[in-house]
């Protein structure tokens, strides 16, 4: 191997067909940047792509074999391997180590997100047992403040992630989540101010929670150059939300089973929301920036200085994709969050449980979460076999059928408690093996890299707007007409979601690299 003039400088030669392929250069750049070194790229038509450092460390990548490119790899022991159209890298290479760290951070951030959004309902039940009754408006403000914060966070960090990078954006979201969770639990207050301060703290937490959606999906989608692998990673990262949704009622039940007083229990529940972020914060600082983002920055291929409105106006296909992703997420979250808040209502109707039976409410909520959890893993298994469009459509259709059965036969089903609870839990299973995962994954898959986080944030914000609409209007409908009408309305909304998916979402043809 020839001596290198500068140990911190990496040299590469790229064979392209056709010559001077910008994609080949960008891919080589992105791999070298994972080593923290500045690459020098030379384009040649007669030599294979070869990226080596003075330390004899080699990280290489190539697109599919149809491009006619080959990759020659050389390790530190002098062995050489030539591969056509494949990505060649050791599993313990710096690139893979950094990618794994980014994926781990994204996964735990999603667990934190789901836990913090779900736990407030159980904490409020404990607070009601230790503080004087509050007005419904104050209680509603506490619940909705985190959703409002999430909407702002999704839009804000959508721009931050494309402007300053995925790594810095993720660190900020984790810190906001940690601060919001700890202040929710530890700030001193009296009976007169508890709900106001809690609402403010949950808004700060919501900012961090909202930022996780676009940043974690994009980070996972940029983990490798293999389409199927990336899509599986994004789905697997999001599946950690199922663990968070399970942990909230499970920890509540454990605290009550141990006899922890409600005045202490609700503080423990809220403070626990900071633990996942604290656990991975150090890894978030250690992880390198996404190689795809870094390579675009070096090559000047970004569109971040162009007006997003102009881009959408000029590119009708991009606008169509945004409509499909945003509207699908909006419709799904109306039904999902609208029905999440009615889980206690259905438990009360079925088993005569209310906030005074908190251990039983928590236990049955654990059962529902356990039934729903495998839906995430079914989606991970299905990725590559079917498209996210198919997964989303079948989920919406099955949810529509289940909601219609529950709504049309709600009163007779009250006599068959296990069947009613099973059907209701099945709606959450098929939301997970359906639009709950696909609405998260699709934006990371269908939008171009330079504006991926931005448009992902817009889509996610539309989802949280739908959640706010569902929580607000479903409550009015339930009080005026009954939970049966809420369920039937959810059926029609789910059916509309299937139609939107069919009309606006394109099927992706996966390719392995």
Residue 289: predicted pLDDT: 66
Residue 297: predicted pLDDT: 61
Q: Given 3-state DSSP classes, what are the helix, strand and coil percentages for the chain, each rounded to the nearest 5?
A: 70, 5, 20
Q: Would you say 304 and 485 are in contact if contact means Cβ atoms under 8 Å apart?
A: no
Instruction: Please give the sequence-ordered ranges of beta strands (E in DSSP) within 36-138, or none if there are none.
Output: 38-44, 50-52, 70-74, 80-84
**List of the chain residues with pLDDT < 50:** 1-21, 23-25, 28, 32, 34-92, 304, 513
Q: Using alpha carbons only, how large is the chain's radius of gyration in Å? A: 25
* Residue 83: strand pairing partners: 71
Residue 300: predicted pLDDT: 55
Residue 470: predicted pLDDT: 84
In what side-by-side order are the strands of the sheet with 38-44? 38-44, 9-15, 50-52
Q: Would you say 158 and 214 are in contact if contact means Cβ atoms under 8 Å apart?
A: yes
**Which one, of 146, 211, 148, lies nearest residue 181 by Cα?**
146
Q: Would you say 180 and 205 are in contact if contact means Cβ atoms under 8 Å apart?
A: yes
Alpha-carbon gap, residue 96 to 99, rounded angstroms: 5
Residue 342: predicted pLDDT: 67
Q: Would you say 10 and 53 are in contact if contact means Cβ atoms under 8 Å apart?
A: yes
Show the domains of the chain with their CATH numbers.
9-84 (no CATH), 94-504 (1.20.1250.20)
Respond yes or no on whether the N-terminal peptide bond of residue 480 is cis (omega within 30° of 0): no
């Amino acid at each position: 191997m020839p001596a290198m003039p500068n140990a911190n400088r990496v040299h590469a030669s790229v064979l392209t067909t056709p010559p001077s392929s910008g994609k080949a250069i960008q891919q080589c750049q992105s791999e070298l940047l994972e080593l923290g070194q500045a690459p020098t790229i030379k384009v040649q038509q007669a030599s294979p792509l070869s990226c080596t450092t003075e330390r004899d460390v080699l990280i290489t990548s190539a697109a599919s074999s149809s491009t006619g490119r080959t990759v020659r790899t050389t390790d530190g022991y002098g062995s050489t391997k030539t591969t056509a159209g494949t990505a060649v890298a050791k599993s313990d290479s710096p690139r893979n180590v950094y990618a794994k760290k980014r994926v781990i951070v994204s996964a735990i951030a999603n667990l934190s997100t789901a836990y913090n959004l779900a736990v407030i309902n159980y904490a409020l039940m404990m607070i009601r047992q230790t503080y004087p009754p509050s007005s419904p408006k104050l209680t509603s403000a506490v619940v909705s403040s985190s959703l409002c914060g999430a909407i702002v966070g999704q839009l804000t960090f959508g721009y931050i992630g494309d402007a300053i990078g995925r790594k810095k954006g993720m660190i900020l979201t984790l810190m906001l989540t940690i601060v919001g969770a700890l202040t929710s639990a530890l700030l001193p207050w009296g009976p007169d101010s508890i709900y106001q301060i809690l609402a403010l703290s949950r808004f700060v937490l919501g900012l961090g929670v909202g930022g996780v959606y676009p940043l974690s999906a994009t980070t996972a989608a940029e983990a490798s150059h293999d389409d199927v692998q990336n899509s599986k990673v994004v789905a697997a990262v999001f599946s950690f939300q199922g663990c968070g949704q399970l942990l909230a009622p499970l920890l509540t039940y454990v605290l009550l089973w141990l006899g922890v007083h409600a005045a202490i229990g609700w503080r423990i529940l809220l403070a626990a929301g900071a633990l996942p972020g604290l656990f991975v914060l150090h890894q978030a600082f250690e992880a390198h920036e996404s190689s795809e983002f870094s390579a675009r920055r070096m090559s000047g291929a970004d569109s971040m200085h162009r007006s997003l409105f102009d881009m959408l106006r000029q590119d009708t296909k991009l606008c169509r994709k945004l409509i499909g992703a945003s509207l699908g997420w909006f419709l799904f979250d109306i039904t999902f969050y609208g029905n999440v808040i009615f889980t206690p209502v259905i438990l009360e109707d079925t088993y005569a449980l209310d906030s005074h039976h908190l251990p039983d409410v928590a236990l049955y909520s654990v059962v529902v979460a356990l039934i729903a959890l495998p839906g995430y893993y079914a989606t991970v298994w299905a990725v590559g076999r079917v498209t996210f469009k198919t997964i989303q459509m079948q989920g919406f259709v099955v949810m529509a059928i289940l909601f219609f059965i529950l709504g049309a036969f709600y009163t007779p089903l009250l006599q068959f408690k296990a069947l009613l609870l099973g059907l209701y839990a099945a709606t959450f299973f098929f939301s997970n093996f359906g639009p709950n995962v696909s609405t998260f994954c699709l934006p990371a898959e269908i939008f171009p890299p330079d504006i991926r986080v931005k448009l992902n944030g817009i889509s996610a914000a539309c989802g949280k707007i739908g959640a706010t609409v569902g929580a607000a209007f479903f409550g009015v409908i339930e009080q005026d007409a009954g939970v049966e009408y809420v369920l039937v309305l959810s059926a029609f909304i789910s059916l509309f979601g299937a139609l939107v998916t069919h009309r606006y979402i394109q099927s992706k043809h996966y390719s392995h690299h």
